[in-house]
Structures are given as structure tokens and as C-alpha cells.
Structure 1
Amino acid sequence: MKRFYLIPVLLFLILVLCSCTEEDLPKPTQSGANMIACKVNGKPWISEIKSLFVNGEKFSVTSGYYEKPNRYFVLWARRVNDDENSSIQLAIEDLKSTGRQTFEVNSNLYPGNYPTKNYGYYQNRDNRMDTKNYVTNTNYKGSINVTRFDTINYIVSGTFEFTAENLDGSGETVKISDGRFDVKYR
């Protein structure tokens, strides 16, 4: 008779263990929270800096909006802690309004070229300082959906996803999914 009581307890424990996540992504916002988050190959990634200082200031998300000749928008986010040094970069060649734009062309992002096309980019540097650079191209694509483009309060928010290929020619890819961003620009 005691065995029948054990089955519901085991089922409950299995449900609890399966519902736990290692880290939840923040909910999408549109308030200029200076946040970017996504999943990298299924694992949560949230921009944060714990040990990197630039010009005496700590930063994890930065953006730029350049009006000439196009309305070029670049969003760059970093994650630096004891285990990880990685960054994500999103670019829109001509940001004029809300809506979906795709990452599907070769952007000539590397080495040292200043891209002028839409692209998604991921960089990861491990503890040995080996750097892997991944960028979208005609074979590995993605998109960005701008849900708020506020030119009065200087806020850009939205979602993104992409698959990018390692620039070393190995054919290795990275999948970025469930992305969301909410930044102030100037």
C-alpha cells in the first residue's frame, strides 16, 4: 500500500525539477532600460559587466544612431564575468521606423571592414583568450523586429533572432534566439 503513495511524490519531484531553469530572460520592455538578452545555443545570455572598465566607466550595452548618409543603427552588448567574455552586435543599415528587417547578406564585417548592411554578430572569447567570431550571411540568416522607435525620447526596443557562421571557415554556427532589447540612443 505504501508504494502507491510513492508514485505521486516521484511525479511531483520530476515536475519540479523539469520546470527549473538555470536563469530566466528578463521580460521584454519598451522603456529604455538599456537591456539586451537572448539565448545562445539555448542557454540564457543577459548583457552584464562584472570586471571590465572602459575610461573608468562600467558598461554592458551601448548603441549608436548615425543619420548620414543612412540612418544606421548599431547595438552592442557585452557579457564579462569569471566564466565568459562575449558580445552581441546588431546593425540596421537604414532605421526609419518600427518593423521587421532581415539579416541575410554578406556584411564584410571582418577583418576590420566597416559594414553598411544589416547583420547579427556574436563573439566569444574563452579563458585561453581564443576568440570566435560569428556573423550572419546569405546562408545563415536572421531578423530584427523594432517594436518601438521613439525619436523624441530616443528609445529603440524590439526582438531579434539569428544563426551566424564562424568567420574562421570551419562551418561552425551559433544560434541566437528569443532575443529582446530596449535601449536609449543618442
Structure 2
Amino acid sequence: MNSSRFLLPFLLLAAVGCKKERTELDRLPDATQEGKGTAGWLLDGQAQVPKRSSISTSHPVGGYWRKTRNGRSLSISFYQFSVDEDWGVSFYLPDIRQPGTFPLNQAPPPLTPQFSPAYGQYSRSRPDPDRNAYTGPDAPGQLIITRFDTVKNIVSGTFEMTPQEAGSSGTYAVTHGRFDLHFDH
């Protein structure tokens, strides 16, 4: 009976002292809809979160909404430029007027991206050789816009895709993507 009196406080102390180890998913920014200028995703299970660099003056998370022949296109991009690594994810929607789910399953024409169907891209140029991978019929993806506010210029959402390297069968698993940004027009 005496030993059980000491066992309970010991178990409580042990439980409080244990820290949960952070997973790659925990390293991503929260999914918000306030124009915070954040983005993140898992690339083949590893967290990628763009951050400002000393070698680039541009913000690593940005977007543009502009008038085109087909309507109002939205381009958003999330990049990391540094001495050690350059990589990024970008999306193009040829006509967007409201939140929704946008499939990324058609091949973009290589010479005229402004006339393309919706697509996603993963690129990497450092430390590896240049790599560009796109969504398409054999490399699908999905972009879900959860907030599209043309008064406050805020776009937020989630994404997943399996882009395929140009001229190769190699693919990347881009999962748990999320973003929240102000866009220009």
C-alpha cells in the first residue's frame, strides 16, 4: 500500500516530463486565411517552408491576379533562394472568380504558359542540377482555394500534387500543402 502512494506521483511526473517529438508535419505553418504570407508542404515526406533569404529581396510567398483573354488568371508561388538551396512550388489558374477545387491534370503548353490550363510546378536548382516537374495527365494534382477575397487581396488554400520531371518518369510527392497570402493585381 505504501509503494502505491509513491507510484502515482512518480507516474504523473514522468508523464509531464515527456516531450512529444515534432514531426515534419508539425514544422509546417498553420493553415490560416488572413493573408499572413505563409506557405509550406511536405516534399517526399520532408517539410519545406519558404523563408526570406539574404541573397533575395523579394518575399518568398507571393501571387498575382490579372486580367487575361480567358478571364482573370491567378499565379501563386512559394520559393526558397539561398546560397545553399533554391527550390519552389508554383501554380497557375487561367480563370478564377471564387473559392473552389481546381484539378491540375492537363499538360501546360511549354512555350505559352499564359494560355495554359491550370497546372502546378515544383522546381529545384541548387544543390542538385536543375529540375522542373509539372502536373499533367500522368502527374495529377489538386489546388483547393478556401478563401479568395478580391477586396482585401487575400488567397488561401491547400494543395497536393505528384508533378513529373520534364523529360523523365521521375515524380515528387507534394502533400499537405497550405498557403495564405496577399496577392497583387
TM-score normalised according to structure 1 size:
0.81
Counterpart code for 1:20 = R
Q: Say whether residues 1:93 and 2:91 are aligned partners.
A: no
Q: Say whether residues 1:42 and 2:45 are aligned partners.
A: yes
Structure with larger Rg: 2
Q: Which residue of 2 aligns with 1:5?
A: none
Task: Tell me, yes or no, if the aligned pair for 1:49 and 1:79 is still in contact at 8 Å.
Answer: yes
What is the rounded CA distance, in whole Å, between the counterparts of 1:161 and 1:65 in structure 2? 21
Task: Tell me, yes or no, if the aligned pair for 2:55 and 2:83 is still in contact at 8 Å.
Answer: no
Pairwise CA distance, 1:145: 0.6
How many residues are paired up? 166
Task: Tell me, yes or no, if the aligned pair for 1:87 and 1:124 is still in contact at 8 Å.
Answer: yes
Structure 1: stretches of 5+ with no match in the other structure:
1-7
What is the rounded CA distance, in whole Å, between the counterparts of 2:49 and 2:152 in structure 1? 24
Task: Tell me, yes or no, if the aligned pair for 1:123 and 1:131 is still in contact at 8 Å.
Answer: yes
Task: Tell me, yes or no, if the aligned pair for 2:54 and 2:82 is still in contact at 8 Å.
Answer: yes
Q: Percent identity?
A: 25
Task: Tell me, yes or no, if the aligned pair for 1:122 and 1:134 is still in contact at 8 Å.
Answer: yes
What is the rounded CA distance, in whole Å, between the counterparts of 2:131 and 2:43 in structure 1? 14
Q: Which residue of 1 aligns with 2:3?
A: none
What is the rounded CA distance, in whole Å, between the counterparts of 1:106 and 1:51 in structure 2? 35
Residue correspondence of structure 1 range 118-129 to structure 2 within 5 A: 118-127=118-127
What is the rounded CA distance, in whole Å, between the counterparts of 1:58 and 1:71 in structure 2? 24
TM-score normalised according to structure 2 size:
0.82
Q: Which residue of 2 aligns with 1:104?
A: 105
C-alpha RMSD of the superposition: 2.1
Structure 2: stretches of 5+ with no match in the other structure:
1-10
Q: Which residue of 2 aligns with 1:21?
A: 23
CA-to-aligned-CA distance 1:139-163 (integer Å, 9 cap, x gap): 1101011101111111111101100
What is the rounded CA distance, in whole Å, between the counterparts of 1:137 and 1:158 in structure 2? 20
